[in-house]
Amino acid sequence: MKLLALSDEVVPFIYSGQIKERYADVDIVIGCGDLPYYYLEFVVSMLDVPLVYVHGNHDHRRQRMSNDRIATHAEGCIDIDGRVETVKGINFAGLGGSIRYRPDGTHQYTEGQMRRRMLRQAPMLLGQRLRAKPLDILATHSPPFGIHDGNDRAHTGFKSFLNYLDIFQPRLMLHGHIHLYREKAQPITQYKQTTIINIFPYRLISYDPHTGQFA
Ligand SMILES: [Zn+2]
């Protein structure tokens, strides 16, 4: 399966007619936050495949579209933020947002709030585990604490994500939020059973859900 993951930045060649030829064989698109709804809607309409997404700390709850429509979600896309969903046989969990760094910020969470969001997913994930179904992909906006994260408050990762990886052992964790050109960080880190990938601003991933192999 071909997965196209996006985050943080509108990439000109993706937001153009070129996307059709370039990504004709993509099966699922994954949005890892800080992406305007018009971009997600464009991608889903051009590729005509399922698009799952979570929110970033810069995503407004209500967005004005070019036709003056006020959008509260990306039309035709699957909001998996805080949820567990199976799409084309791949098990996804979504935990968008960043660490809280402003009292009034949207899609910002304290560690305690994020932990509660994780706990709400636990029954679904444990049910999948009982049926020997792995969690294929955890899609987040923020990285975990200490892995790919930054030194400033806004780019500090979640400690609770490490507990999540320990318990639910997703095969892949895809995140954004950390702009590689600025942080000069490495994009891929292995943490126990999980390969953590910073996909900023896009990455094409081949993934075999039967073996968990990816490239
Ligand atoms: Zn962000």
Rounded distance from Cα 129 to ligand 1 centre (Å): 31
pLDDT of residue 173: 98
CB atoms near residue 98 (< 10 Å): 29
Query: What is the share, in percent, of the chain residues with pLDDT greater than 70?
Result: 98
Rounded distance from Cα 127 to ligand 1 centre (Å): 31
3-state secondary structure of 130: helix
Rounded distance from Cα 195 to ligand 1 centre (Å): 20
Rounded distance from Cα 153 to ligand 1 centre (Å): 12
Rounded distance from Cα 80 to ligand 1 centre (Å): 17
Does the predicted TM-score (pTM) go above 0.85? yes
Confidence class of residue 117 from pLDDT cuts 50, 70 and 90?
A: very high
Residue with tokens 């094409």: 204
CB atoms near residue 159 (< 10 Å): 15
Rounded distance from Cα 22 to ligand 1 centre (Å): 26
Q: Phi first, then psi: what are they for 121, rounded to 5°?
A: -85, -15
Rounded distance from Cα 210 to ligand 1 centre (Å): 32
pLDDT of residue 67: 86
Which fold does the domain 2-206 belong to in CATH?
A: Purple Acid Phosphatase; chain A, domain 2 (3.60.21)
Give residue-wise pLDDT tens across range 135-173.
999 999 999 999 999 999 999 999 999 999 999 999 999
Rg (CA), the chain: 16
* Nearest Cα residue to 156 out of 183, 123, 134, 120: 183
Identify whether the C-beta of residue 82 lies closer than 8 Å to the C-beta of residue 141: no
Rounded distance from Cα 105 to ligand 1 centre (Å): 12
Beta strand extents in the chain (DSSP E only): 2-6, 28-31, 51-53, 63-64, 70-71, 78-79, 84-87, 90-95, 98-99, 108-109, 137-140, 172-175, 188-191, 194-198, 202-206
- For residues 118 and 112, give the distance between their C-alpha atoms in angstroms, rounded to a whole number: 10
**Domain boundaries of the chain, sorted by first residue:** 2-206
Rounded distance from Cα 130 to ligand 1 centre (Å): 34
Identify whether the C-beta of residue 202 lies closer than 8 Å to the C-beta of residue 14: yes
Surrounding residues of ion ligand 1, Cβ less than 5 A: 34, 56-57, 177
Give residue-wise pLDDT tens across range 56-85.
999 988 889 888 889 889 999 999 999 999
pLDDT higher than threshold 70 for residue 35: yes
The percent of the chain in helix, strand and coil, each rounded to the nearest 5, is: 25, 25, 50
